[in-house]
């Protein structure tokens, strides 16, 4: 279908505009949304949304860019919104939708994961249409357009295999990106068991633990007992530490002492004082 844009925005009734099916970006009723609603109430929709005509309909449109603006407009009480109409295919619209949002300052891992998946599927479909078949062709083409390596794109798309509860923990930064990729190889039952054990243990897996969970899943099948044992392990960053600024204690030691030597000397002093105290208590 030819790419055709009208010269000026057209006011379209909000009931004629539909969300892009499967669009990856979240539209949340948060403080940012409230600010946008207030802005629209005061100034109207400054930047028109972008839509495409829906196939096999009359005057029905699908959003390419502007899901948040449409929601805010509806909440602000508007009956119509200004829109630019692009006569493009579903695949072309998917690519435009992804590209128009990737520049956002705050984008969640889950949003980027589903955005990359949506764009890759569109590129794959276009590649088949034009005789350029192959996942590698599509990934390489996409890597150039989003400034990510083909491997990193694949790793992000792996997050789409996580169940919603785990993916939410990634968005909340309770599970880091790399461990999350490893966990995406667990089956859905194992992932559900992991969510329950995370709740019980109040702990999330680090990279080493996630790799072990994946290995056990592959080799023998992962049970809740396996998961509980691994999550119950003490992590290095969870151990209590006492930190003393170097400038407070270095003057008590020879200048030639290294940090390790100072630490060892402090331990010996503590041990000596402990033995002396034990001796006094035994009298």
Residues in the chain: 283
Q: What's the confidence (pLDDT) of residue 239? A: 47
Q: What's the confidence (pLDDT) of residue 137? A: 56
What is the pTM assigned to this prediction?
A: 0.72
Q: What's the confidence (pLDDT) of residue 130? A: 47
Domain chopping of the chain, boundaries: 1-101, 105-161, 176-238, 246-277
Q: What's the confidence (pLDDT) of residue 250? A: 79
Token couple for 157: 């798309």
Token couple for 173: 């930064």
Q: What's the confidence (pLDDT) of residue 258? A: 80
Q: What's the confidence (pLDDT) of residue 216? A: 96
Q: What's the confidence (pLDDT) of residue 101? A: 81
Residues of the chain with pLDDT under 50: 1-6, 129-131, 239
Q: What's the confidence (pLDDT) of residue 241? A: 58
Q: What's the confidence (pLDDT) of residue 70? A: 96
pLDDT digits over 264-279, tens only?
A: 888 888 888 877 777 7
**Which CATH architecture best describes the domain 1-101?**
Alpha-Beta Complex (3.90)
What is each CA distance from 112 to 109, 122, 167, 265, in whole angstroms?
Answer: 5, 15, 12, 51
Q: What's the confidence (pLDDT) of residue 254? A: 85
Q: Which residues pair with 11 in a beta bridge?
A: 82
Dihedral sign for Cα 150, 156, 159, 161, please: negative
């Amino acid at each position: 279908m030819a790419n055709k844009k009208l010269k000026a925005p057209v006011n379209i009734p909000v009931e004629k505009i539909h969300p892009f099916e499967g669009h990856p970006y979240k539209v949340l009723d948060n403080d940012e949304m409230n600010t946008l609603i207030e802005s629209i109430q005061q100034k109207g929709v400054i930047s028109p949304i972008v839509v495409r005509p829906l196939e096999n309909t009359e005057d029905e449109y699908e959003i390419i860019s502007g899901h948040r603006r449409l929601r805010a407009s509806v909440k602000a009480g508007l009956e119509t919104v200004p829109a630019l109409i692009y006569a493009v295919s579903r695949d072309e619209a998917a690519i435009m939708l992804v590209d128009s949002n990737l520049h956002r300052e705050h984008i969640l891992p889950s949003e980027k994961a589903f955005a990359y998946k949506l764009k890759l599927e569109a590129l794959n479909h276009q590649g088949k249409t034009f005789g350029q078949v192959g996942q590698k062709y599509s990934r390489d083409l996409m890597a150039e357009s989003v400034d990510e390596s083909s491997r990193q794109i694949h790793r992000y798309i792996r997050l789409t295999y996580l169940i919603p509860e785990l993916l939410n923990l990634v968005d909340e930064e309770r599970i880091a990106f790399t461990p999350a990729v490893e966990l995406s190889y667990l089956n859905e039952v194992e992932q559900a068991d992991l969510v329950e054990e995370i709740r019980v243990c109040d702990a999330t897996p680090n990279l080493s633990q996630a790799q072990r969970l994946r290995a056990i899943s592959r080799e023998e099948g992962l049970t809740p007992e396996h998961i509980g044992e691994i999550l119950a392990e003490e992590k290095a960053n969870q151990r209590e530490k006492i930190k003393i600024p170097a400038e407070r204690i270095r003057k008590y030691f020879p200048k030639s002492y290294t940090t390790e030597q100072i630490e060892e000397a402090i331990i010996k002093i503590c041990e000596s004082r402990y033995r002396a105290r034990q001796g006094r208590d035994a009298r």
